[in-house]
A and B are shown apart, each in its own frame.
Chain A
């Protein structure tokens, strides 16, 4: 599948943003983040709001008619893309309320706790609906698995947590406070991504082995001898992307190292070994590496997913 730059930007930026929003109120509720520090609240919530807003706007850049984007809110009964749009709108009121309470009041007690609860739920809802858009596409066998959704639900919080730890360390909070949470999300993301990759090839082979079924000749071997067009058309440009597939193994290794190994060392291991002043110089680059890793992962997610229409063009 062709990886549109705007979609990669959207899933990376909003993934980090909703990751922060899905965790920060919980970390406050469990006393891991202090809500009396208004500046910390601003330093976490405002970038998160900025990232999700930039992400949502960038996702409209690749539309043919961005001015009609409001129409996408109408078909939530059948369309996961529409549900994602509705969820994006729903997430703003509680998130703005919670941000107001933390930054202006310096306290998220009482009814504001419910705003925090709704912030977490809508942020998780965003990651879930985004994942379901891809999960529901049967013609892309790599995506048509629950591991796609699990990937979105774990990578968002993992990258959000990396940013939370980096920012909180700047406010004098020792990263060891987040160590247990970091272990949970690094492990969960590692399971989700490796399970996703483990079935990817077999899922494709299931369809490719019976390419004859695509031209009403099941059981027969099919060799494409002439295309309907001499140049690439829309279908090939959109659904036939091949550059990253060629280097899929290398890119997976880079993704594993940046997205999983780097956070495991920086956020799970180092906090037990180093005092805060030194750790700042580890967690900030650690967060940068994690974000670079997730951007490559999003690119690879599109680029290594094959669409069954490519069977018509002789892709094996």
Chain B
């Protein structure tokens, strides 16, 4: 049934630190690598090495310039993937029962055998998390690596989503957001984790940690000799400096 569970035992999800993310695309790559052989495999590509390359990806990283009302600006790298919302309209709009939210852990999944490929779920998602596979004729989406996190063939420390495992800066965290004592819940409290587009009312499980307050280093940066143009006498002192000054005086 595409009715949502009243509550889920756990709320497994990601906490993504926008202060730490450097936009390296490693999570994007490892997500694709794992999932093209995983639960929703394959993540089909259209013409991957030619013009108009396209394909199914569960995780996309955007880059922005963000300017505060005071006029201070900086870059922000933003990984965008399924937020496994509590109020997931992508599930309730599904006419066939292919989309569902698990009562045990809150993960939103698609049963590919039931999907008719009407695409309505992708319209219902404000975050653009679902991508349609034109070859298979079904909708695909992030599984929170459901085939990793419970996978007893993997070592305990590897039982996390591929994107979390690979992140070189530690910007991605995974855990149970229903448990107030979990590491991710503490992180969200400490850093003021936010819902994306809260006004939509989807109650996303995944949380984003905003960038920390910027320290104003502008004045010291401007005095740096490295920022002054390099002239031909750079570093000339002593005898060479004297020669330089003398030669300057000649006509």
Residues of A participating in the B interface, judged by any CB pair closer than 8 Å? 1, 62-66, 68-69, 71-75, 77-82, 85, 133, 136-140, 207, 210, 212-235, 238-239, 307-309, 312
Q: Which residues of B contact A309 (CB under 8 A)?
A: 125-128
B69 and A219: CB pair below 8 A? Answer: yes
Please report whether the interface of chain B is mostly helix, strand, loop or mixed according to DSSP.
Answer: loop
- Asked whether, in the complex, the Cβ of B132 is within 8 Å of the Cβ of A234, the reply is yes
A226 x B63 contact (CB < 8 A)? yes
- Whether, in the assembled complex, B200 has its beta carbon less than 8 Å from a beta carbon of chain A, the answer is yes
Contacts of B65 in A (CB 8 A): 222-223, 225
Q: Is the CB of B96 within 8 A of A71?
A: yes
Q: Are the C-beta atoms of B64 and A79 separated by less than 8 Å?
A: no
Residues of B within 8 A of A136 (CB): 89, 93
**Nearest 7 A/B pairs, CB to CB:** A64-B117, A64-B137, A228-B60, A309-B128, A216-B208, A82-B95, A226-B63
Q: Is the CB of B54 within 8 A of A63?
A: no
Q: Which of B55, B64, B75, B138 makes the CB contact (< 8 A) with A65? A: B138
> Closest chain A residue to B131 by CB distance?
A234
A123 → chain B closest CB, angstroms: 20
- B64: contacting residue among A74, A224, A239, CB under 8 A: A224
Return B212 CB to nearest CB of chain A, in Å: 12
Number of B positions contacting A (CB below 8 A): 70
Residues from chain B with a CB closer than 8 A to the CB of A71 are 95-98, 114, 116
Contact of A223 with B124 in the complex, beta carbons under 8 Å: no
**Once A and B bind, how many residue pairs between them come within 8 Å at the CB atom?**
199
CB closest residue in chain B, given A82:
B95
9 A–B pairs (Cβ distance < 8 Å), ordered by A? A64-B137, A65-B138, A71-B95, A74-B95, A79-B94, A138-B126, A207-B197, A212-B66, A307-B123
A residues within 8 A CB of B23?
226
Contacts of B159 in A (CB 8 A): none
Extra 17 A-B pairs, beta carbons < 8 Å, given A75-B96, A233-B54: A64-B118, A69-B116, A71-B98, A71-B116, A81-B93, A81-B118, A81-B120, A133-B120, A137-B123, A139-B124, A140-B123, A217-B76, A220-B66, A220-B69, A223-B64, A233-B55, A312-B128
CB distance from A230 to the nearest CB of B (A): 7
CB distance from B73 to the nearest CB of A (A): 8
Collect the chain B residues with CB atoms within 8 Å of residue A1's CB.
123
Give every chain B residue within 8 A of A138 (Cβ-Cβ).
Answer: 89, 124, 126, 200-201
Complex Cα gap A136–B55 (Å): 29
B61 within 8 A of A: yes
Q: Is the CB of A234 within 8 A of B118?
A: no
CB distance from B104 to the nearest CB of A (A): 20
A222 to B238, CA, bound (A): 52
Binary A-proximity of B83-96 (CB < 8 A = 1, otherwise 0)? 00000010111111
CB–CB A234/B56 < 8 A: yes
Q: B133 — nearest CB in chain A belongs to which residue?
A: A64
Contacting residues, chain A, for B131 (C-beta < 8 A):
233-235
Q: Which residue of B lies closest to A311 (CB)?
A: B197
Known: A65-B116, A66-B116. A238 touches B122 (CB 8 A): yes
Look across to chain B and name the residue whose beta carbon is closest to the beta carbon of A85. B95
**B211 contacts the other chain (CB 8 A):** yes
Given contacts A133-B120, A137-B123, A68 and B62 within 8 Å (CB-CB): no
B2 touches A238 (CB 8 A): no
Contact status of A213 and B196, CB under 8 A, knowing A71-B116, A228-B28: yes
Give the distance in Å from the alpha carbon of A269 to the alpha carbon of B100 in the complex: 54
B183 on interface, CB distance cutoff 8 Å: no
- Chain A nearest CB, measured from B214 CB (Å): 12
Whether the pair A72, B96 counts as a contact (CB closer than 8 A) is: yes
Residue B78, interface by CB 8 Å: yes
Hey, which chain B residues are within 8 Å of A219, CB to CB?
Answer: 68-69
Complex interface: chain A residues within 8 A of B51 (CB): 231
Known: A64-B117, A139-B125. A225 touches B136 (CB 8 A): no
- Nearest chain A residue, comparing its CB with the CB of B92: A78
**Chain A nearest CB, measured from B146 CB (Å):** 22
In the assembled complex, which residues on chain A have CB atoms less than 8 Å from the CB atom of B123? Answer: 1, 137, 139-140, 238-239, 307
Whether A214 pairs with B196 at a CB distance below 8 angstroms is: yes
What is the distance, in angstroms, from A212's C-beta to the closest C-beta of chain B? 7
Nearest opposing residue in chain A for B201, CB measure:
A138
B232: interface (CB < 8 Å): no
| Closest residue of B by beta carbon distance from A236 | B128
CA distance A250 to B18 in the complex (A): 43
B residues in contact with A81, CB < 8 Å: 93, 95, 118, 120
Residues of B within 8 A of A308 (CB): 126, 197, 200
Contacts of A222 in B (CB 8 A): 64-67
Report B-chain residues with C-beta under 8 Å of the C-beta of A140. 123
Instruction: Contact check, A72 vs B196: say whether CB atoms are below 8 A apart.
Output: no
B211 lies within 8 A of A217 (CB): yes
Let me know if B96 and A63 touch, CB within 8 A. Answer: no
Which chain A residues lie closer than 8 Å to B91 at the CB level? 78
A225: chain B residues within 8 A (beta carbon) = 63-65, 75
CA distance A81 to B51 in the complex (A): 36
| Bound form: Cα–Cα A75–B114 in Å | 12
Q: Are A234 and B196 in contact (CB under 8 A)?
A: no
C-alpha spacing A75/B96, complex, angstroms? 6
